[in-house]
Structure 1
Amino acid sequence: MSLNQYRFRDVWSVSAPTARVFDVLVDLINWPQWWPDIRTVHQLDADTAELTCRAVLPYALTFRLHRAEQDHAAGRLRVDMTGDLEGYCEGVVDTHTTGARLAIDQRVVVNKPLLRTLAPVARPIFRANHAAMMWRGQRGLRGYLSPPLQHRPQVGA
């Protein structure tokens, strides 16, 4: 594997019905509402969107996501990626004891010239940056899908 190839596996758990989680995941245009590292999403056509993200490190990645698979019944989705990242990201949403579980598998090659140049020394930092982004994505999705807190009047107030 070259220094510019990455494979990431993540598992998110969300206290929400699997169908609801799936619907939010395929609604790319609204990702910036719940995922703070997704800065912009532009819908290019019915199956393609361009996304810009930036996590902790001071660089942004811009790439296109093209729908390759979307099977609601099986909970499977996959997008092919081109641009600063090239490869794919696929996920499976299934039922778990506390709601939904999302298993994510990403295989990408970094095309951004600066990151390719820095990979020999910065690869562990790039992986940590990705981990931080995914952690914030899971946290954001959980918050987005959690029911709002009910206001309860204080007794004796």
Structure 2
Amino acid sequence: MRAIEYRFSTIWCFDAPVQVVWDAIHDSAHWPRWWKSVERVQDLAPGNGDGIGAVQRYTWKGVLPYRLIFDVHVTDVEPLQLLAGDATGDVAGRGCWRFSTEGGMTVVRYDWQVRTTRPWMNLLAPLARPFFQWNHDAVMREGGTALARRLGATPTPEN
């Protein structure tokens, strides 16, 4: 069965310094403390001082009644600018966080280009694709709102 590809882009804006936003996102081991859709993060390999080479296993649960488990191998780290990695598991592909500042706001853009590897997801994709996309968007909206709350920042309409 052919894997189905998805391309998602999410933009979060925070009235918080880029350093504190970077720190919260770079420290994904602690995401389950503030992002309810992230049930678990397991460290599988430490990587170097910046985190390049690190491997973590993520367990995600969105609004729909299924979980996704996948490993992310960190491939690129440019402090305060970029964090990227390759995913394998229930989804396979690449995720990239980009950080910038605009008008005193920290802007975070997350691009997630993955394909589903679970046979049932690929089988149902012709009908369920809009629901999978909606679920992803709900997870990301919740994450942006939760991070704003954690940072004491005012959520913006993008979150």
- TM category (shorter chain) comes to 0.7 to 0.9
Deviation at 1:3, TM superposition (A): 7.0
Query: Based on CA coordinates, which of the two structures has the bigger radius of gyration?
Result: 1
1:115-148: CA deviations, max 9, x gaps?
111101100111001110010010011011117x
Q: Given the alignment of the two structures, is residue 41 of structure 1 paired with residue 35 of structure 2, yes or no?
A: no
Quick check: 1:4–1:116 contact (8 Å CA) kept in 2? yes
Give the Cα separation in 2 of the matches to 1:143 and 1:98.
18
> In structure 1, what is the equivalent of residue 71 of structure 2?
64
**CA RMSD, Structure 1 to Structure 2 (Å):** 1.4
Number of equivalenced pairs = 145
Give the Cα separation in 2 of the matches to 1:98 and 1:136.
23
Give the Cα separation in 1 of the matches to 2:65 and 2:116.
16
Counterpart amino acid of 1:116? Answer: N
> In structure 1, what is the equivalent of residue 107 of structure 2?
101
Give the Cα separation in 2 of the matches to 1:112 and 1:40.
20
Which consecutive segments of 4 or more residues in structure 1 shift more than 4 A?
A: none
* Structure 1: stretches of 5+ with no match in the other structure: 148-157
> In structure 2, what is the equivalent of residue 14 of structure 1?
14
Q: Where do residues 79-90 of structure 1 align in structure 2 (5 Å cutoff)?
A: 79-90=85-96
Deviation at 1:106, TM superposition (A): 1.0
Counterpart amino acid of 2:99? Answer: V
Deviation at 1:23, TM superposition (A): 1.2
Quick check: 2:14–2:148 contact (8 Å CA) kept in 1? yes
> In structure 2, what is the equivalent of residue 53 of structure 1?
60
Aligned pair in 2 of structure 1 residues 3, 111: CA closer, same or farther (>3 Å)?
Answer: closer
Deviation at 1:98, TM superposition (A): 4.3
> In structure 2, what is the equivalent of residue 155 of structure 1?
none
* Structure 2: stretches of 5+ with no match in the other structure: 47-53, 154-159
Give the Cα separation in 2 of the matches to 1:132 and 1:97.
27
What's the % identity of the aligned pairs? 32
SS across alignment from 2:62: coil
Compute the TM-score of the two structures, normalised by the length of structure 2: 0.87
Counterpart amino acid of 1:133? Answer: V
